Structures are given as structure tokens and as C-alpha cells.
Homo-oligomer: A and B are copies of this chain.
Amino acid sequence: MTEAIAFLPPRQAVLSRRAEILDDLKELVPAGRLVEERNALVPFETDGFIAYRRRPLAVVLPETTAQVAAVMKYCHRYGIPVVPRGAGTSLSGGAIPQEDAVVLGLSAMTRIIEVDYANRCATVQAGVTNLAISDAVGADGYFYAPDPSSQLACTIGGNIAMNSGGAHCLKYGVTTNNLLGVKMVLVDGTVVDLGGKHLDAEGYDLLGLVCGSEGQLGIVTEATVRLLAKPEGARPVLFGFDSAEDAGSCVADVIGAGIIPVAIEFMDKPAIEICEAFAKAGYPLDVEALLIVEVEGSEAEMDAMLAAIVEIAKRHGVKIVRESQSANEAALIWKGRKSAFGATGRIADYICMDGTVPLSQLAYVLRKTSEIIDRYGLRVANVFHAGDGNMHPLILYNINDPEDAAKAEAAGMEILKLCVDAGGCLTGEHGVGIEKRDLMLHQFTQVDLDQQMAVRSAFDADWILNPSKVFPLEGRG
């Protein structure tokens, strides 16, 4: 396809020293932890944003913080770009390398270091998967709240880089609200600890700054995360509507009334059909839009909250209200939703937008999105976290048809601008990566971006950490 998004030109001084650099890196990580063969590098060429790919100089897969520090110290000394990588599930291209970069993969750092129930937290290495944390504490009645759809694969390190969310973040908050501390390697190899098991901390909130900084301020090697007690019970309920706008207005009114269920997920008709075909979840096929609302707590609590939501839904002409009747049915409902991206991938290539809007704008933005998609002659499936206004239009296209791909990308950019213009922002949980980099100036002024870049330079003066990402290439320092 045509590449609308540019990468920084590779540093020739680095490319020309490749053999020497590989020899040096071999000394810094255990045997087998340096990937250098061209074919072995292919899996690291791209991530969940598959439209772009670059082969990296090399990949290192360290096992300890000390090894990460040694690699950083070396790369910093010689001005070699470093692209950190968790499981490579980024939807915005946050882990796509460049030709002069060493990919620093954290996937070998999978140790759960400590589970501390007294302080309700767990300390894990950065390569531990999101779900593995909940699995480690589930039998004791606890869980780790943020739940990206990719939670089976994605790592906590990647979650921190992107400040990842998930369906249940409506109630529990995103990664930054559930992160207590990190161990991080600075660009020059220095190791720092930010945060800890205690509430808050003195000094600037560098932990909050690091969370969501897309691997540009340092390499997180360990994380201390909050554990929550599992709720007494949970019940997903399906609400079917005759129009996407009715569903959107209903969500705005539920939240506006101060009711916070644990999740409110939205699917439009194309998404319902795609997910139902894949998961056999029992979604109704005769509605235009579906909300999956999950309530939790005691039976009495769930009943009371549901009654209030049904009341509001009726005012928006809800057509179907269907409670899951068993744990199995509930699991299927969530399986359908969480496999939406995978199920979509079976029928077409897609790019997933991540714009977030104030809830009062939900219905308007849905209507306008549909107009944009029609104008480009494309198809879209909408499946997203409605409760917090985090939209995910999946724009369907054919990756092997350059014209189709260019249209999909252009439509996506229009949709993101629409979100910003409606008082929202470019990304709720997927990050900027390379995907939304050049739209940053649509949201921010140059003054805003200069300030962000000044902060970046305070951590990484030479901009070797994930350099092609987040900030538009033009207008950089």
C-alpha cells in the first residue's frame, strides 16, 4: 500500500556498524537472547497495526533489569535507537521498529515477583501478560481490573506504555488508575523506582507521566499493580435498539444520571452480525444497535441498578432487554464482544479507530461517522466502550488494494478529527504510536507539543527511545 505515514530516515552511522553492534550486544544478554538472522527478525517487523512494517537492526530479549540496563547504556553511548516491545499487540503501531533500531523485547521477563494481599498489590516483571496477573490471584478471590480485549496476549509493560483500558474500565479506571509503582531503566541505563505500595507520593507524579508515554521516557521492567476483590456477582444484560442514535443517547443519559455500571459496550448491526457468526453468543440479529451492560455486586444491588437502567432505556425506545440466564451464557456474551477484532479480521482487513468523545456527543459522532464512511464507499463496524465515550469504528478494507487502503486511512483520519472537533480526543486507550502521530497538531497547538517534547528531552535528550512515534515529524525541536 502507499505509505501515508513517514518514518525517520535511518541513522547511516548505525546501519554501517551493524556487525559490530551485534557482536557487542551478544555480550550483554544470555545466549539465544539476541535475534539477528533476517528471517528470525520478520515477526518483529510490525505489530497490531499491520499496514506498516520495518525490519529492525536486531532484537534483544533480556531476562533481567540489569540486562536491560546494560543494553540501554550501550545503545545510549552509541546513539542507537531503541524500540521497546511487549507482545506486539499495539493497534497504533507503537511497537513497529525502524531499520536502525534495536528492538528491546520484554517478553522473556515473565516472573510474578510478589503477591501481597495485605497491601492488595502484586509486583510483576514487565513481560507478564495482563491475564496472567488475574490468573495468579483468582483462586484467592482477587483480580487485576484493566482488561484490554487482547488481555490473553498483551503484557503489563505494553499496557503501561499505552495506558491501556478495556471494557471494565468504566468502573475500575484504566491502567494509570491501577498502577502503584514501576522499576524503570532510564535511557542511559540508570535504574529508578517510581511509586510503591503506598498511596500517592511526594515530588512530581513521574509515575503518572510514565504511564502512557509509549516507551519514550524509559524502559519499564517491573510493575506493582493494584489488586481488587472480585465482586459478589456480575450479570451482563443485552439491550437492543432500533437505531444507533437511540443507543448512544441512552448511554449518555445513564451516565448523566450518575449510574456507573461496570461496563457499557456498544455494537452496531455489522458488529453484531460479525461477532454472532463467530461466537454464537445469542445476540439479537433484528436490532440496529446493541448495548452490553454489565452490573455487579449483590443480587439486590444488581437488581436495583438494572431497574434504573431499564427505566432510562425505555425512554429511548429499547426493543429487547435480555439478561444472561447462566454463567455460561454470560461468558458467551463477553466472548463475542472480546473477540470482535479477531472475528472482524476473518472477513476483512480493518483499521481500528480509537477516538474518545464526551458522552453527550456520542449519538452525533455515530451519525457523522456513518456519513463519512458512506462518502468513501467503505464499510464500518462499530464496537466500543460506550460508557466512557471511547469509540472503536473498525473500518473494513482490502489491504492488497492500494486505493482501498488509502481510502480507509483517509476516512479514519476524518473520523478522528471529528472526535476532536466534538470536544474529544484522538485516543482513549490504544495510544498515538505512528498511526495518529501526524494528527497531534489537530488536537494540540505547537505550544502544547513543544512543552510535551521538552519533557521528553528531559528524559531522552538524543531522542533514541521509540523515536518515530507520538510527535509529528515536522515541528520537532
Q: Kindly specify which of A47-55, A63-71, A114-122, A278-286 makes contact with the partner chain.
A: A114-122
Can you list, as one digit per residue, whether each of A205-226 has a CB less than 8 Å from chain B (1) or not (0)?
Answer: 1101101110001000000000
Can you list, as one digit per residue, whether each of A436-466 has a CB less than 8 Å from chain B (1) or not (0)?
Answer: 1000100111011101101111110000000
A8 to chain B, nearest CB (A): 18
Q: Kindly specify which of A21-29, A125-133, A293-301 makes contact with the partner chain.
A: A293-301
Is A202 touching B360 in the complex (CB atoms < 8 A)?
Answer: no
Chain B residues near A119 (CB, 8 Å)? 256, 358-360
Can you list, as one digit per residue, whether each of A355-395 has a CB less than 8 Å from chain B (1) or not (0)?
Answer: 01111100000000000000000000000000011100000
Residue among A174, A203, A356 with max Cβ neighbours from chain B (10 Å): A203
Is A451 touching B258 in the complex (CB atoms < 8 A)?
Answer: no
Can you list, as one digit per residue, whether each of A419-449 has a CB less than 8 Å from chain B (1) or not (0)?
Answer: 0000111111101100010001001110111
The verdict on A277 contacting chain B, using a C-beta distance below 8 Å, is no
Closest to A169 in B: B199
What's the Cα separation between A443 and B449 when bound, in Å?
32
Chain B residues near A256 (CB, 8 Å)? 117-120
Q: Kindly specify which of A190-198, A318-326, A407-415 makes contact with the partner chain.
A: A190-198
Is A356 touching B199 in the complex (CB atoms < 8 A)?
Answer: yes
Q: Which of A154-172 contact B (CB under 8 A)?
A: 163, 165
Is A199 touching B458 in the complex (CB atoms < 8 A)?
Answer: no
What's the Cα separation between A192 and B230 when bound, in Å?
41
Chain B residues near A177 (CB, 8 Å)? 173, 177
Copies, count? 2
> Which of these, B116, B425, B452, B457, contacts A200 with CB under 8 Å?
B425
The verdict on A141 contacting chain B, using a C-beta distance below 8 Å, is yes
A94 to chain B, nearest CB (A): 12
Chain B residues near A423 (CB, 8 Å)? 196-198
The verdict on A142 contacting chain B, using a C-beta distance below 8 Å, is yes
Is A452 touching B163 in the complex (CB atoms < 8 A)?
Answer: no
Chain B residues near A120 (CB, 8 Å)? 255-256, 258, 359
Closest to A430 in B: B202
The verdict on A109 contacting chain B, using a C-beta distance below 8 Å, is no
Residue among A297, A429, A451, A454 with max Cβ neighbours from chain B (10 Å): A451
Is B356 touching A228 in the complex (CB atoms < 8 A)?
Answer: no
Is A212 touching B206 in the complex (CB atoms < 8 A)?
Answer: no
Chain B residues near A356 (CB, 8 Å)? 198-201
> Which of these, B117, B142, B176, contacts A205 with CB under 8 Å?
B176
Is A206 touching B117 in the complex (CB atoms < 8 A)?
Answer: no
Chain B residues near A456 (CB, 8 Å)? 204
Is A174 touching B192 in the complex (CB atoms < 8 A)?
Answer: no
A residues within 8 Å of B by Cβ? Answer: 116-120, 141-142, 163, 165, 173-174, 176-177, 186, 190, 192-194, 196-206, 208-209, 211-213, 217, 228-230, 252, 255-259, 297-298, 300-301, 304, 356-360, 388-390, 423-429, 431-432, 436, 440, 443-445, 447-449, 451-452, 454-459, 470
